[in-house]
Structure 1
Amino acid sequence: MSTTTRRGLVLAVAGVALAATACGTTHDNAPGASSGAGPAAQACKGPGGKFTIGMSQANLAEPYRVRMDDDIRTAAASIPQFTVNFADAAQDNAKQVEQVSTFLTQKIDLLIISPNEATPLTGVVKKAYDQGIPVLVLDRKVDGDAYTSFIGADNVDIGRQAGQYFKEHLLPQGGKIVELKGLAGSTPAKERADGFAAGIAGSGITIVGTADADWLRDKGQQQADALLKAHPDAQAIFSENDPMAEGARLAAQNAGKAALPIVGIDGLPVPEGGIKAVEAGRLSATFIYPTGGAEAVAAAKKLLIDCGQVAKAQTLPTRQITKDNATQVYAELNQGS
C-alpha cells in the first residue's frame, strides 16, 4: 500500500462520526475526525479479496471477553474472505502493545482491539491507523480519535441507569452503599462510576467506600470482604460488572449478609452469566452490555469487502434485567443458538 497513492478526504456531517469512504481514497494528514476514512478505502479489495484481521483482546480472565472473542469468531465464520488471528494481552499493557505491533509486522488488513487501558494503547492504535490499517475499537476507548470506528455501549448511561435503580427500587429512602470498580485505567470504569454518581444524585444514597477489583471475580470477593468489614452498615453493593458482583455475593454471605442487594453490569446470556444470576437471586439486577463482536465483523465486511462506510461511533443498546424479566430475556437472547 504505497503512500504515494494516498489522498485525503474530509467528511464532516453535523458532528456525526466520520465514515469510511469509497475505494481509492486514503489519508496523509492528522488521523481521526479531521483525516477522513482513508485507511478503510485503501484496504478495500472487494468480494474477491482475502483479508487477515488481528483481534487484540485485553484479557481472557473475564467471561465477557471470552464471549466477545466467541462472537467475533462465530460472525467471521460466515465470511470466507476473513481469517481472524486472536491475541490475549492478559491485562498487560506492554504485552498488548507488543501483540499489536506483531500484527502490524504481519501486515494485517484490519485491527480490532479492546484495549486493556486507554492511554498506554493509544500510541500503537494510532500507529496502525497511520499506516493505513482500519481500526475498530471495541468496548474500551483509547485517547484521541486515531481510529476508524468505536463500537460499544454508553457506559455513562448504563451507570446512570444502575444509579436510578438504586434510587427508585433498592434504597428509595436513601442509605449507605459500597462500590466495586473495574480496572482504573480503562474507560468503562470511570464512565460507569461517573454515570452511577449522576444516577443517585439527590437521592440520599451515600457511597461510603469504593475499591478497584479489576473486573475479576476473585478480586471482587477480596475487595468486597474488606469493604464490608470497614463499612458493616452498608445496605447494598454496586459492582461495575457481574463477575465482581458474584465475588461480592460470596463476601456478603461470609459476612452473614446473604440477602444484601447487589447490582452488576454485563448480563451475558450464558448459564454462568449475569442474567442467570439475577434469575437465581444472587444479583438484584444487571444491565446488558453487548460485546460488539458481531457488529465489529459486520463493520469489517462493510469496510473491506463492500467498500462502504461505517460511523465513527456505533452505540449499542442496553437493557435492565431484574427478576421480573430475567427468564424471558435469557430465552429471547438464546433463540436459535
Structure 2
Amino acid sequence: MKKSFLFLLFIVSLSALFLFFITKKLEDAKPEVVVVLKELDTQYWKIVEAGAKKGFRDFGIDGKVIAPSSKSAQEDQGKILNEILNEKPDVLVVAPVNSYKYKSILEKFVDNKIPVLLLDTNIPLENKSSYIGTDNYELGRKAGALLASELQPGDEVALIAGISADPVSGDRLRGAKSSLEAVGIKSVTEKVDLPNESSRIKKAIREVLQHHPNVKGVFATSDIMALSALEELEKQGYKIPVIGTDGTTEMVELVEEGELSSTVAQNPYDMGYLSAQAAMNVAKGKNVDTIIDSGVDYIIKGNGNERLTFLKKILK
C-alpha cells in the first residue's frame, strides 16, 4: 500500500510539473501580430510604424508591419491581406485603403477566429475587436474652429479633400464645415477626390483663386495637401491661413517659424503604440474598448518644439 501510494504521489507530482511547464511555455509564447498599413512612403505612416514597433518590444509581441507601395495600394493591399489570412496570425491590425473593397476580406479573418483591429480608418465591419485612431469628425471640427478663429464672419474659405466617400476624408470635411458655418464663415468651394499629389493640389488651388479671388483661408484634410496648397498660395501672392490635420514635422516647423499661426495634429505614434497594446490584450483573451481614441492636439508657436524633437528622433 505504501509503495502504491508513493508511486501515485510521484505520478501526480510529475503530472503537475509537466502541466506547469506546458502552461509556462504557453504564457511565455509571444502572440503573432501583423500590422498592415496603407503605405510606408510618407512620414505619417512611418510614425505609425515606429509606434507599433515600440509596442511590439514593450508588450512582448512577435510582430511585423507591412504595407503596399502608395502607388499600388488599392490593388496590393488586398493581395497582402489574403496572404496574411493564409499565415493565420493571432491578431490582425489593419488600416484599410478602401473601406468597401476590403470589407469582405476582413470578414474572412473574423470567420477564421482571427481578431481584427482597425487602425486609423474605421469602417462598418461587424465583430471587429476595436478601432484605434482619431475621431475624424472631431478633428475636422477642431481644425475648422481653428481656421475660423483667424477670420471674420462672412469671409470665404476653400476646402480641399481626398476621396469624399472615404470615411476619414469625409468625416474631416463635415466636421470642418460644421465649425465654419456655425460662425458665419462661407465655404465657397470644395475640391474633393484629390490625391496626395502636389501637382494636382496646386492646380486645384489655382482654380480656386481663379473663381474665388477673395478667399481668406484654406482647410485641407491632410498635411500633404495643406503644404502643397500653402506653396501655391504663396506663389500666387496670397498670405492666408492654411490648416492641415496631421501634425507632420514640416507643418509644425512652419508654426514654430511663424509662417503659420497654428495647426491641428493627430497622434500617429500613439496610434501605432496603442494598437500593439490592444492586440496584446486581445491575444490574451481580454476585452478592449471598441473605440480607442488617440486624440487630437492643437499646435501653436511655442508648444511644437518638444513634438519636433520627438518626431525627428524616431524618424532617423
- Normalising by structure 1, we get a TM-score of 0.77
Q: Does the 8 A contact of 1:224 with 1:248 survive in 2?
A: yes
Q: Does the 8 A contact of 2:140 with 2:171 survive in 1?
A: yes
**Which sections of structure 1, spanning at least 5 residues, go unmatched?**
1-44
Q: Please identify, of 93-102 and 69-78, the stretch whose mean Cα deviation from structure 2 is larger.
A: 69-78
Q: Which residue of the partner structure matches residue 280 of structure 1?
A: 257
Q: Which residue of the partner structure matches residue 218 of structure 2?
A: 237
Cα distance in 2 for residues equivalent to 1:74 and 1:202: 41
Q: Which residue of the partner structure matches residue 159 of structure 2?
A: 179
Query: Aligned-pair RMSD on alpha carbons?
Result: 2.4
Q: Which residue of the partner structure matches residue 190 of structure 1?
A: 170
Q: Does the 8 A contact of 1:163 with 1:197 survive in 2?
A: yes
Q: Does the 8 A contact of 2:33 with 2:90 survive in 1?
A: yes
Q: Does the 8 A contact of 1:55 with 1:86 survive in 2?
A: yes
Cα distance in 2 for residues equivalent to 1:142 and 1:217: 28
Cα distance in 2 for residues equivalent to 1:107 and 1:293: 21
Q: Offset of 1:284 from its aligned partner?
A: 3.3
Q: Choose the corresponding residue for 2:267, options 271, 275, 290.
A: 290
The one-letter code sitting in structure 2 at the alignment partner of 1:49 is A
Q: Offset of 1:234 from its aligned partner?
A: 1.0
Query: SS at the partner of 1:118?
Result: coil
Indicate whether 1:53 and 2:33 are aligned. yes
The one-letter code sitting in structure 1 at the alignment partner of 2:231 is L
Q: Which residue of the partner structure matches residue 104 of structure 1?
A: 85
Q: Does the 8 A contact of 1:264 with 1:285 survive in 2?
A: no
Residues 236 and 251 of structure 1, relative CA distance in 2, 3 Å threshold: same
Q: Choose the corresponding residue for 1:326, options 294, 304, 307.
A: 304
Cα distance in 2 for residues equivalent to 1:328 and 1:296: 23
Q: Does the 8 A contact of 1:264 with 1:283 survive in 2?
A: no
Q: Which residue of the partner structure matches residue 25 of structure 1?
A: none
- How high is the sequence identity, in percent, across the aligned residues? 22
Q: Offset of 1:203 from its aligned partner?
A: 2.0
Q: Which residue of the partner structure matches residue 190 of structure 2?
A: 210
The one-letter code sitting in structure 1 at the alignment partner of 2:291 is A
Cα distance in 1 for residues equivalent to 2:65 and 2:252: 30
Q: Does the 8 A contact of 2:180 with 2:187 survive in 1?
A: no
Query: SS at the partner of 1:137?
Result: strand
Q: Deviations over 1:34-54 (max 9, x none)?
A: xxxxxxxxxxx9532233322
Number of equivalent positions: 286
- Normalising by structure 2, we get a TM-score of 0.82
Q: Deviations over 1:206-232 (max 9, x none)?
A: 111221333444543332233223322
The one-letter code sitting in structure 2 at the alignment partner of 1:326 is G
Q: Offset of 1:261 from its aligned partner?
A: 1.1
Q: Does the 8 A contact of 1:263 with 1:284 survive in 2?
A: no
Cα distance in 1 for residues equivalent to 2:312 and 2:122: 31
Structural mapping, 1:251-290, within 5 Å: 251-257=232-238, 259-268=239-248, 272-290=249-267
Residues 311 and 277 of structure 1, relative CA distance in 2, 3 Å threshold: same
Q: Which residue of the partner structure matches residue 3 of structure 1?
A: none
Q: Offset of 1:65 from its aligned partner?
A: 1.4
Q: Does the 8 A contact of 1:64 with 1:266 survive in 2?
A: yes
Q: Offset of 1:335 from its aligned partner?
A: 11
Indicate whether 1:301 and 2:277 are aligned. no
Q: Which residue of the partner structure matches residue 316 of structure 1?
A: 294
Q: Choose the corresponding residue for 1:248, options 223, 229, 247.
A: 229
Q: Offset of 1:130 from its aligned partner?
A: 1.5
Cα distance in 2 for residues equivalent to 1:274 and 1:223: 20
Larger radius of gyration: 2
**Which sections of structure 2, spanning at least 5 residues, go unmatched?**
1-24
